[in-house]
Amino acid sequence: MLDLLLSPWMWVVFFLVHAVVVVILTVLLKGRFREDQQAVVVWVSMVSCFMPIVGELFGFLAWFLAKRFTSEKIFEDYDEYVSYEVLNLEPVRHEAKRSVDLLPLSESLTLGTFANRKNSILQYIPEGVNHQGKYLRMGLLNEDHETVHYSATLMNTLIDQYERELALAKEQAQSRDLESLKQLHQTYARYIHSDVLTSIVRKQKEQMWLSFLLSIVLLYPEEPWIYEGLGDCSKRLGDLEEAAGYYRQLMEQSPTYPKGYTKLISVYYEMGNWSGIKQTIALSQETLDLIDLSEEDRFVLHVLGGNVT
């Protein structure tokens, strides 16, 4: 009997029979397990084929420990890792490098190198910065002849461009439809606010702007931008009483439009009408919801209303 147990052929037969039994049981029993458990069953059977008895014991022990102490957190962490969008800091680094070399536009035109002045005149000013004419006049006063040349050339180019835009807007506004009239109003505003005009020509354009708005206010008496424009024109021409009247009309026509309140407060401040400011602020607190206002309008009405926290 002992010789039979020690025979190599006996062990070969045992391994083969054991493997066949394990495979058959695996095929028969695998379907009874959940889909996420079937891979474990196959793994246990494969280990058992090469390690009889020990493989089954080791497999069932691993199964028991996995059910008792397993955690899905590793899979959740992996999902988060896969879906995590890595912040690419390379563009930020290059942007920071460019920002280090930036100068305020006024300093670039007066204190910077010629390359900075040229770059500011040709690249930044035409892109629509506010008060383009103010910066170009700084260039005209520079001692460098090329800077003066670039400034004068761009000044003339911008004036020609605004004139063409104004002529086109006037032509389109002949239809008298609301959209084309509003476009002409905005063109006047951009042209005048650009500061590229001399004081005499600017005053002429402001008069033309005011006359245009007066000619359409009866056509569209409920449009708030018309009253706002009339107030802005009157204020620029120095008629503060007239400007205040248009802003009051704007508030009556559109009580929820915040610019009517802030611009009326500005005019009252220049007039020294403190009681008018107080009344306007009180009215704004009753009518407007500060949450819906822009940051600029909210600051003015919030602080002037006494809410400084």
pLDDT digits (tens, 9 = 90+) for 60-76: 676 666 666 555 555 55
Token reading at 160: 């020609």
Rounded Cα–Cα distance for residues 275 and 262 (Å): 15
Task: Give per-residue pLDDT as tens, 180-194.
Answer: 999 999 999 989 988
Higher pLDDT, 173 or 301: 173
Q: How far apart are the first and last CA of the chain?
A: 99
Residue 151: predicted pLDDT: 75
Other beta carbons within 10 Å of 39: 11
Task: Give per-residue pLDDT as tens, 249-277.
Answer: 999 988 888 888 889 999 998 999 989 98
Residue 100: predicted pLDDT: 43
Length of the chain: 309
What does the angle CA 93 – CA 96 – CA 98 come to, to the nearest 5 degrees? 115
Residue 101: predicted pLDDT: 47
Task: Lowest mean pLDDT of 52-56, 126-130, 174-178, name the range.
Answer: 126-130
Residue 90: predicted pLDDT: 61
Higher pLDDT, 252 or 18: 252
Dihedral pair phi/psi, residue 89, rounded to 5°:
-85, -5
Token reading at 35: 């889909």
* DSSP secondary structure code for residue 173 in this structure: G
Quickly count helices (H) and strands (E) in the chain.
17, 0
Q: What percent of the chain has pLDDT over 90?
A: 27
**For the chain, where are the E strands, in sequence order?**
none
pLDDT band (50, 70, 90) for residue 102: very low
Token reading at 191: 């042209």
* DSSP secondary structure code for residue 291 in this structure: G
Among residues 140, 165, 164, 174, the alpha carbon closest in space to that of 154 is found at 140
pLDDT above 90 (res 209): yes
SS3 state of residue 217: coil
Tell me the whole-structure pTM to 2 decimals. 0.59
Residue 215: predicted pLDDT: 93
Higher pLDDT, 96 or 54: 54
Half-sphere exposure of residue 228, counting CA atoms within 13 Å on the CB side? 18
Beta carbons of 118 and 146 less than 8 angstroms apart: yes
DSSP-based helix, strand, coil % in the chain, nearest 5 = 80, 0, 20
pLDDT above 80 (res 137): no
Task: Give per-residue pLDDT as tens, 22-46.
Answer: 777 777 766 776 766 667 677 677 7
Dihedral pair phi/psi, residue 193, rounded to 5°:
-75, -10
